[in-house]
């Protein structure tokens, strides 16, 4: 197990920490959940960077990295829908897209092909992470009473009525649909191949 793959596995641990802390709620629970999620998002970038930089790209990493991303992101969206911060249909759409892509990847693996994440998928993930982090900042700071500049700025920027919510959510939704279709279309020969 090389370093990038170890970081990817650590993202799964961070996802478990996120889920446990978020369900505890309260400022401390949300702060821990936010921290775990941010570390998970950073690890998403770091494992890929190290794999390319150290020439440690593996077939396992190509499969494990997107799977760990999906688990982290889907956990975030399910939680935010349960809290009323994300429309349920958006979460359902994202989950369906992720299951579709995972299914296509599984078919490809069974046929001896590994499909790595593409540029559209990476942009989709970026907007999804921005939205989830924004919502988690909102949950963390909504009940904090402080006049400190940093706290009030975070409260303002992460407020669900502020532009940052729709400016991160709707591009994430659009890219979810577009990248899902692109993924299906570019893999149709693998899916439809009867061999």
What would the pLDDT profile of 144-177 be if each residue is shown by its tens digit? Answer: 777 777 778 877 666 666 667 788 899 999 999 9
Contact 65, 48 (CB under 8 A): yes
Q: In 111-141, where does DSSP find H-type helix?
A: 119-141
pLDDT value at residue 89? 97
Tell me how many helices (H) and strands (E) the chain has: 8, 0
pLDDT for position 194? 60
Only one residue has tokens 């790209």, namely: 57
CA–CA separation, 57 vs 49, rounded Å?
10
Confidence (pLDDT) at 186: 82
Q: Which domains does the chain possess? A: 3-192 (1.20.120)
Q: What is the 3-class SS of 85-105, one letter each residue?
A: CCCHHHHHHHHHHHHHHHHHH
Residue corresponding to tokens 């949950």: 139
> How does pLDDT run across 56-83, given as a tens digit for each residue?
988 888 888 888 999 999 999 999 999 9
**What's the whole-model pTM score?**
0.86
Note whether 131 and 123 are within 8 A (CB). no
Q: What are phi and psi of 115, to 5 degrees?
A: -105, 115
* Calpha distance 46→8 (Å, rounded): 9
Output the pLDDT for position 22. Answer: 95
């Amino acid at each position: 197990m090389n370093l990038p793959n170890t970081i990817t596995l650590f993202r799964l641990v961070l996802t478990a920490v996120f889920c446990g802390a978020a369900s505890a709620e309260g400022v401390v629970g949300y702060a821990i959940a936010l921290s775990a999620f941010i570390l998970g998002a950073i690890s998403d970038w770091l494992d890929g960077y190290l794999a390319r930089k150290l020439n440690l790209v593996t077939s396992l990493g190509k499969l494990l990295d997107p799977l760990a991303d999906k688990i982290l992101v889907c956990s975030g969206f399910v939680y935010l829908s349960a809290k009323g911060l994300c429309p349920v249909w958006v979460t359902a759409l994202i989950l369906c897209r992720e299951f579709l892509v995972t299914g296509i990847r599984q078919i490809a693996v069974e046929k001896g092909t590994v499909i790595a994440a593409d540029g559209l998928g990476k942009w989709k993930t970026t907007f999804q992470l921005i939205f989830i982090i924004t919502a988690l900042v909102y949950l963390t700071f909504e009940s904090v009473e402080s006049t400190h500049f940093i706290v009030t700025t975070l409260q303002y920027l992460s407020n669900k009525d502020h532009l940052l919510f729709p400016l991160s959510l709707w591009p994430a939704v659009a890219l979810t649909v577009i990248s899902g279709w692109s993924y299906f279309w570019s893999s149709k020969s693998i899916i439809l191949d009867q061999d």
